[in-house]
Homo-oligomer: A and B are copies of this chain.
Amino acid sequence: MSKMTASRVLRDEGGYSEKTRVKVMAEVERLGYLPNRIATVFAGDKRTTFVGVSIPDLGNEVFTHVLEGIDRKLVSYNHQTVLGMTQHAQTEEETWIETVLSWKPAGLILTGRAHTPRAVQLLKSAHIPLVEIWDLNSSPIDMCVGLNHFDSGYDMGRFLVSKGYKRFGYVGTSHDAANAANSRLNGYAKAIDDGGGRLSKQLCLNDIPGFYPGYYGTEQLLSSDPSVEVIFFQNDNMAVGAVQFCEAQKISIPGDIGIAGWGELPIASVLPYRLTTVQVNHLRIGQLAAENLLLRITGDTASPVSDVGFNLVPGDTV
Contact of A82 with B50 at beta-carbon distance under 8 Å, contacts A58-B68, A68-B58 already known: yes
How far is B122's CA from A266's CA once the two chains are assembled, in angstroms? 38
Chain A interface secondary structure, helix, strand, loop or mixed? helix
Question: Is A256 located at the chain interface by the 8 A CB criterion?
Answer: no
| Chain B, Cβ-Cβ closest to A95 | B75
Number of copies: 2
Contact of A212 with B270 at beta-carbon distance under 8 Å, contacts A58-B67, A83-B71, A125-B32 already known: yes
Flag if A68 contacts B59 (CB, 8 Å). yes
Question: Is A80 located at the chain interface by the 8 A CB criterion?
Answer: yes
How far is B48's CA from A267's CA once the two chains are assembled, in angstroms? 40
Chain B residues lying within 8 Å of A125, measured Cβ to Cβ, are 32
Binds B, one of A100-108, A137-145, A223-231: A100-108
Flag if B64 contacts A266 (CB, 8 Å). no
How far is B210's CA from A65's CA once the two chains are assembled, in angstroms? 14
Chain B residues lying within 8 Å of A240, measured Cβ to Cβ, are 267, 270
Flag if A80 contacts B64 (CB, 8 Å). no
Question: Is A35 located at the chain interface by the 8 A CB criterion?
Answer: yes
How far is B57's CA from A34's CA once the two chains are assembled, in angstroms? 27
Q: Which of A2-33 contact B (CB under 8 A)?
A: 32
Chain B residues lying within 8 Å of A99, measured Cβ to Cβ, are 49, 78, 80
Flag if A57 contacts B50 (CB, 8 Å). no
Q: Which of A177-214 contact B (CB under 8 A)?
A: 210-212, 214
Contact of A38 with B104 at beta-carbon distance under 8 Å, contacts A58-B68, A83-B83, A85-B68 already known: yes
Flag if B266 contacts A211 (CB, 8 Å). yes
Contact of A267 with B211 at beta-carbon distance under 8 Å, contacts A38-B41, A272-B248 already known: yes
Mark interface residues in A76-120 (1 if CB within 8 Å of B CB, else 0): 001011111100000000001011111110000000000000000
The 4 closest A-B pairs by CB, nearest first: A244-B270, A81-B83, A58-B68, A37-B102
